[in-house]
Copies of this chain bind each other. A is one copy, B any other.
């Protein structure tokens, strides 16, 4: 699911955006000032940022630069100022788009889709998204798993689970987190599913499924993927 970070100091506008975005199946985080936005963006990296320039605590351009220091996430700027100067400043600071208030929700959503669309392939046709072990390789962009020179067929659930583990490679991923990301918040206690699907993954990918070397169980806590 695409995650949007909304930054604005007007609770009303935040409310309106959150409602509209959630109705369209976006995951939404919200912050009311620049410092909070930067903190939230680091904690839960968004796929696109909607940023109001008129924040109480920081200059808008500084927020943009704060993000651009470590991420290429698309930034759509909102502002009440029509001044050409302000637009140029924001865009040159690293923003991707500039929308003046008041704006049509349809238009903002369309610009948001455009921003997400063109950002997608940045991770895509490139390279680096391939993780390898001694027995198999995972291509996150192409959604492909190869083992012994042949493609391995994974079901959607299997793939989703593998994806979460690989994205956190080397780190322990808690059972709750796995269940929540793959099956949704309502399944946080169904540890049964994890057992069944971890077994599937191991059977399809491990050299010796009964003695897993890459999908490690951490009893009582969760699972870890070791490249």
Contact = CB atoms under 8 A, between A and B. Distances in A.
What bracket does the count of chain A residues touching chain B fall in?
35 or more
Interface in A104-129: 104, 106-107, 109-111, 113-114, 118-119, 121-126
Contact of A143 (B106, B155, B218): B218
Interface stretch (A27-35, A41-49, A87-95, A191-199): A87-95
A16 to B, nearest CB: 16
B143 A171 contact: yes
A55 interface: no
A150 interface: no
Contact of A171 (B85, B141, B172): B141
Given A87-B110, A118-B118, 18 more contacts: A72-B118, A74-B118, A87-B104, A88-B106, A91-B110, A91-B111, A92-B110, A92-B114, A95-B114, A118-B119, A121-B122, A121-B126, A124-B171, A125-B168, A142-B170, A142-B171, A143-B171, A143-B218
Interface of A: 72, 74, 84-85, 87-88, 91-92, 95-98, 104, 106-107, 109-111, 113-114, 118-119, 121-126, 141-144, 155-156, 159, 168, 170-172, 185, 218-221, 224
19 contacts: A84-B104, A87-B110, A88-B106, A88-B107, A88-B109, A91-B110, A92-B113, A95-B114, A97-B114, A98-B111, A121-B122, A124-B171, A125-B171, A142-B170, A142-B172, A143-B218, A155-B219, A156-B220, A156-B221
